[in-house]
Amino acid sequence: MPADDVILVGILLLALVTVESGGYFLTRVVRGSVSANRLQANFFRAGHAHAAVLLVLSIAILSVISHAALDGFWLWLARVGVPIAAILMPAGFFLSVLGRDPEKPGRLIVLLWLGVVSLTAALVTAGVGLIAGGVAAL
C-alpha cells in the first residue's frame, strides 16, 4: 500500500472516533436529553450510520486499490470518492434538519445528493479498475 494511502487510512480511523462521539449524541436524542422531532431523529440516525459505514468502506477500498488498473484522475477518484461521500452524505443528513422542529429537510440536503454522486462514481471506478487489474494479472 502506498504511503499516502496508509496516511489516509490513519486519518479515516481517527475520523471514526468522531462517529463514536456522534453515537453518544444519538443516545442523548433517543433518551430525550436532546430535543429532536421525528424527522431530526431519523436524519441524525441515518447520518451517523452513513458516516460509519462509508469510513469503513473507504478503508476497505484503500486496502486493495493499488491492484486496480487505474491512474491519474481515475485512481484519485477511486481512492478519495468514498471518503468525500463519508463527509458529504452525513453532513446533508445533519445540516438539512437543523433548527427548531423542522417539518422537512432544508436546502443543505443537496450535500446528501452530492455525496451520492461521489460515492457512485468512486464505486464504479474502483470496481471497474479492480476487475481490469485482476484480469490483467491473470
Give every residue of the chain whose pLDDT is below 50, as ranges: none
Compute the distance between CA of residue 36 and CA of residue 39 in angstroms, rounded to an integer: 8
Q: In the prediction, which pLDDT does 89 show? A: 97
Range of the domain at 51: 3-137
Q: How many angstroms separate the first and last alpha carbons of the chain?
A: 21
In total, how many domains does the chain have? 1
Residue 36's pLDDT is what?
87
pLDDT at 33: 87
